[in-house]
Amino acid sequence: MYISLEGISKRYAAVTAVDEVDIAIGKTEFVSLLGPSGSGKTTLLRIIAGLERPTTGRVLIDGVDVTDLPPHKRGIAMVFQEFLLFPHRTVRENLAFPLRMQQLSKEEIASRVAWAAGILSLEGLEDRYPNQLSGGQQQRVALGRGLVAHPKVLLLDEPLANLDRELRQEMEVEIRRYQMQLGIPFIYVTHNQEEAMSMSDRIAVVSKGRIEDFAERSEVYDHPKTAFIAQFVGRSSHFNGTVSAVSSEGASVDISGVKLHVSRNANLKAGQRVVVFVKNEKVQLEARTDTARANSIDCRIKDIILRGAYAEYILDAPALGAELVATRPRSETVFTAGQEVRAFWSGDAPDIFPADKAA
């Protein structure tokens, strides 16, 4: 692998920010470190950058152990959440900075800066100072400064967090494109699952300094490995219950008297307490009928939130003593608030985890 972290830990006095992390990243991979704030993902990135020294473990880039190397000898580049453009330098000088440090020729610097300004539509802004630029423009300069360096790896620390939604989605597409163009690994730290989903090849979900899972993005979304991932990735409702029976086809779960069938059994034992997660978009709705249906619950629509092409139904399920949410395309039957409906899902929709490991 092109980049490996081996047994990386970082402890500050009593706090363990990063706990025994092992990750290997390929040469052309786009990897996201996804986790809530305080999970240790930024510390991990700073360890790769050389801005923090790990308490234990090694960092290898391109086969070289760089654990003891200061940042400037690692041949990396980084895009920061706060941009961190040099305020006393123009856009051109900011872009040229890493190239000057690499002692490239004037011609080479000029052509690479022109290239970056071109692809990032910064032409005409080269002689401005950072504070004369809009947030989006500053972000592009920060990205450009990372790209022109032709680093061994580009580290991105929540680079889109300070941009508004529309701009963010635009940039997601662009960032992914540059990664493929340059053919270098990007390591992207974010707490925003949509960003991680839209760009990454693989996602490492970080929680409490540990890697919960490191897998293909669809795998992380569709088959969460832990309760934490099930809760953190995607939007879902969850219920506490007890396994009532286990068979080769799955398990039956009893949730305050309501029987549900789960076709994944995840090594469950009868009598075990569990948490069941159902992703909002996997919850379907229909008008009440007398025909019986497996995995269905009678609900009343409490509220409807419109999200463009989708409608989010907030459902009150008295039998469960809980609320659940169904996200449906608006092209489907439209229900109204207050209506009595039936929510149902297929047997393979829920993710189920032992309760003691629930987040």
Partner 1 sequence: MTISRLKRKATKGLLLLVLALTYVFLFLPLVHIGIAAFARNFTYPYPPLWTLETVANMFANNLYRTSLLNSFILGLGSAVIATVFSTIATFGLLRYAGRHVAKFVLLFMAPLFVAEVLLGISSSILGGFFLQIPGNLISAMLANSIHCFSFALLIMATQLYRYDWRLDEAAMVFGASPAQTFFEVTLPLIWPGLLSAFIISLILSFNNLEISFYLLGATPTLPSMAWGALRHGIKPELYALATVVNIVVFVILAVIFVLMKTGSVKFGYRPERESSIV
Partner 2 sequence: MTHKTKAVLLLGIPTAYLVLLFILPIISLIVLSFWKTESYHLVYEWNIQNYVTVLTEGAYLTFLIRSIVVSVIVSVLATAIGWIAAYAIWTYGGRFRLLLALAFAVPFFTGEVLRVIALQGLLGPVGLINGTLMKWGFAPVRALMYSNVASGIGLFYLYLPIAVTVIYLSLLNLDRRLIDAAKIFGAGGFRSFIEITFPLNLVGTLIAFALCFIPCMSATLSPRFLGGPNGTLYGMAMAQQFGESGTWALGAAMGVILFLFSLLAVVLIASCLDLRRTGFTGFGRN
Q: Both tokens of residue 26?
A: 């390929």
Q: Report what 129 binds from partner 1, partner 2, none; CB cut-off 5-8 Å by kind.
A: partner 2
Region 238-257 residues binding partner 2, contact defined as CB under 8 A = none
Q: Both tokens of residue 304?
A: 């409807």
> Does residue 88 interact with partner 2 by CB under 8 A?
yes
Nearer to partner 1 (CB atom), residue 46 or residue 328: 46
Q: Both tokens of residue 59?
A: 């960092």
Region 47-76 residues binding partner 2, contact defined as CB under 8 A = 49-51, 70-72, 75-76
| One residue of 60, 69, 110, 167 binding partner 1 per CB under 8 A | 69
The residue whose two tokens read 């052509």 is 111
DSSP-derived 3-state class of residue 329: strand
Could you tell me the smallest distance in angstroms from the CB atom of residue 300 to partner 1?
Answer: 38
The residue whose two tokens read 């540990």 is 210
> Does residue 110 interact with partner 2 by CB under 8 A?
no
| One residue of 6, 16, 19, 129 binding partner 2 per CB under 8 A | 129
Nearer to partner 2 (CB atom), residue 37 or residue 331: 37
Instruction: Compute how many residues bind partner 2; rule: CB under 8 A.
Output: 25
Burial class (CB in 10 A: 0-12, 13-18, 19+), 72: exposed
For every residue of 132-160, which 3-state class applies, written as one string? Answer: HCCHHHHHHHHHHHHHHCCCCCEEEECCC
Which of these segments, 29-37, 96-104, 214-222, 338-346, binds partner 2 (CB under 8 A)?
96-104
Do 140 and 130 contact (CB within 8 A), yes or no?
A: no
Which of these segments, 62-70, 142-150, 255-263, 311-319, binds partner 1 (CB under 8 A)?
62-70
**Helices marked H in 50-134 — which ranges?**
91-101, 106-119
One-letter amino acid identity for 214?
A: F
* Buried-state track 320-349, b at ≥16 Cβ within 10 A, e below 16: bebebbbbbeeeeeebeeeeebbbbbeeeb
Q: What is the dihedral of CA 345, 289, 309, 237, to 10 degrees?
A: -40
Distance, CA of 319 to CA of 335 (rounded, Å): 21
> Does residue 291 interact with partner 2 by CB under 8 A?
no
Give whole-number Cα distances, 240 to 201, 223, 257, 276, 320, in Å: 33, 19, 11, 6, 10
Nearer to partner 2 (CB atom), residue 133 or residue 233: 133
| One residue of 73, 235, 293, 302 binding partner 1 per CB under 8 A | 73
Q: Binding mask 42-61 vs partner 1 (x if CB under 8 A, - otherwise)? A: ----x----xxx--------
> Does residue 158 interact with partner 1 by CB under 8 A?
no
Could you tell me the smallest distance in angstroms from the CB atom of residue 70 to partner 1?
Answer: 5
> Does residue 330 interact with partner 1 by CB under 8 A?
no
Could you tell me the smallest distance in angstroms from the CB atom of residue 153 to partner 2?
Answer: 11
Q: Both tokens of residue 276?
A: 């069941």
Could you tell me the smallest distance in angstroms from the CB atom of residue 303 to partner 1?
Answer: 30
Could you tell me the smallest distance in angstroms from the CB atom of residue 50 to partner 2?
Answer: 8
Give whole-number Cα distances, 131 to 86, 88, 98, 134, 162, in Å: 10, 10, 20, 8, 15
Binding residues for partner 1, rule: CB under 8 A, are 46, 51-53, 68-70, 73
* Binding stretches for partner 2 (CB under 8 A): 49-51, 70-72, 75-78, 80, 82, 84, 86-88, 97-98, 101-102, 129, 131, 145, 149, 155
